[in-house]
Amino acid sequence: MLLVVVMLMTVAGLRAEPPESDDAEQVVSVLQDGLIQAMQQGHEIGYSGRLKLLAPIIQQTHDLAMIVRSVLGTHWAKLDSNQQQAITQAFQANSIATYADRFDQYNGEQFKIVERVQLPRGRMLIRSQLIRADGDPVNFDYVMNRTGESWRIINIVVDGVSDLALKRAEYNAVLQKDGIAALVDMLEQKTARIKQSHL
């Protein structure tokens, strides 16, 4: 009997899911739980409070440095280290500010993870929905990339629209016309306008 128990425990161990910190679905849940918390406390803590709440969560769940490199594509390699640092910082600040701006009030919404799909190159797609109070869902699909022992979000597709594709088109248009300094300035101005709108 003891042998059977040991064998069952061994099989269960082999079939067990990876540790939570190593699980793509768990990373998405951390983000979504943080967003719901920001929405529920939205008016009470204000924009600055949501910014403070969400900043570490966004940095923990997103590979923001990889996202900005992917958005800039071939332009990235043409930048010197100071330019790369400047655009990365401006992008990160704007990304966090955008989350704090948009997820600001709660009306009974809930996130639900629908499925996980293995993608090429070892990546994972986590499909989820934001269920609104009226029952009408918004689809949030997260493309996950594994770096070392950690999964991180590298793209979000909302109702079929890729955030990465939108940013790539917008940023490249600015780069080709006015250069990297103009792009950094554009992002900083966007972040400043968000902050100003909450004063």
Please give the CATH superfamily to which domain 22-197 belongs: Tgt2/MlaC (3.10.450.710)
- Do strands 161-162 and 150-158 pair parallel, antiparallel, or not at all (unpaired)? antiparallel
Per-residue confidence of the chain (199 residues) as pLDDT tens digits? 434 333 333 333 433 344 343 499 999 999 999 999 999 999 999 999 999 999 999 999 999 999 999 999 999 999 999 999 999 999 999 999 999 999 999 999 999 999 999 999 999 999 999 999 888 899 999 999 998 889 999 999 999 999 999 999 999 999 999 999 999 999 999 999 999 999 8
CA distance 56 to 49: 12
For the beta carbon of residue 107, count every other beta carbon within 10 angstroms. 8
Structure token digits, residue 47: 């924009």
Which residue spans within the chain are E strands per DSSP? 110-118, 124-131, 137-147, 150-158, 161-162
Look up the pTM and report it. Answer: 0.86
Find, among 130, 129, 128, 132, the residue nearest to 107 by Cα: 132
Hey, where are the domains in the chain?
22-197
Structure token digits, residue 138: 């918004």
* Long-range pairs for 3-10: beta carbons < 8 A, 24 or more residues apart: none
The identity of residue 1, as a single letter, is: M
Residue with tokens 């403070």: 52
CA 4 to the chain's CA centroid: 44
Residue 132 phi, psi dihedral angles, 5° rounding: -85, 170
Structure token digits, residue 15: 């079939």
Helix (H) or strand (E) holding 6: helix 2-15
